[in-house]
Amino acid sequence: MSDFITLSLFASMLHLSIPVILPMLGGLLCERSGVVNIGLEGMMLGGAFGGVAFSYLTGNPWLGLAGAMSTGALAGGLLAVMSVSLRGDQVIGSTAINLIGAGLTAALVPIIWGIDGTTPSVPKVPTPPLPLVGDLPLIGPLLAEFSLIDIIAFGLVFLVWWVLMRTDMGLRLRACGESAVAADAAGIDVTRVRFIAVTLSGVLAALGGAYLSIVTLDLFQASMTQGRGFLALAAMVFGKWRVGPAFLVCLGFGLADAVALRAQIFTDDLPHDLLFALPYVLALVALATFVGRASGPADVGKPFRRA
């Protein structure tokens, strides 16, 4: 057991949770503003593809990361136009984002690279370990495996919480999700706030996809996100649309992934496919049992029409 539970297991948990944490933050911002977003999976795929494509075309992985964010802003902006500006059905609009993300990225791979499925290797974002942390007591050996990109990703958790709960901007955003009519009467531009929140959700989800494709790996593969966008939605709901609890749920999913990977080394008795399904089984059980009474912001999913 001591060989199984090690610092590297917890390091793997933190690394594997990042591609779920980032889209979770995006979905939380979007839904706290009053717009349903189940399109995180498609936005992640768009970000994963955009990161690889821009890294390949420019030879610069940092421009690839910027390209991924641009792709996410485009996907989020498209959803914002459909659901906020045109007041279309938000579930249908975000489902369309998922379909576009899965279909378009798979179709563009053979157009750009001339092969199906998986792209060639591209320059990936360098992730040198943090300097001067290995000698810190207790957490030093754990932080020694982390890079600046990882710290920024976890820093975004605090930033989103601080913006939502400690700033006027966050108060306006939450007001739009609880009662758009009351927010409008108080002088808040509901359409503008929601448009920005939906667009930002696309950027954060795309960063989660890019973390997979040009930080962890150096390529894009069709459907490489493997449902992490839906895990992010489950974490958001299980956390009752609050940053802290949802973040802990994401860590739980990361731990399940890390255990599944490590269990392959320690046992051959369990099928590997069953081990990899563990995070999704946990999400299904959680949603079917513990969060049956969970309710989101009062006006989530309701298009706003000024009287």
pLDDT digits (tens, 9 = 90+) for 45-58: 999 999 999 999 99
Q: What 3-state DSSP class applies to 293?
A: coil
Q: Of 34-48, 126-140, 169-183, 227-241, which gets the smallest average pLDDT? A: 126-140
Other C-beta atoms within 10 Å of 110: how many? 12
CB 177 within 8 A of CB 34: yes
Please, which residues bridge with residue 129 across strands? Answer: 147
Q: What is the DSSP letter of 118?
A: B
- Residue 275's pLDDT band (cuts 50, 70, 90): low
Parse the chain into domains and list their residue ranges.
7-121+145-288
Give which of 259, 249, 241 is closest to 286, Cα–Cα.
249
Give the chain's length: 307
Q: Of 31-40, 138-147, 194-203, 212-221, which gets the smallest average pLDDT? A: 138-147
Residue 22 has pLDDT above 50, yes or no: yes
Tell me which of 3.40.50, 1.10.8, 1.10.3470, 3.30.70 is the CATH number of domain 7-121+145-288: 1.10.3470
Per-residue confidence (pLDDT) for residue 307, from 0 to 100 = 63
Which is more confidently placed, 267 or 183?
Answer: 183
Separation of alpha carbons 255 and 244, rounded Å: 17
Instruction: Give residue-wise pLDDT tens across range 182-231.
Output: 999 999 999 999 999 999 999 999 999 999 999 999 999 988 998 899 99
Residue 148 Cα distances to 143, 248, 258, angstroms: 10, 21, 21
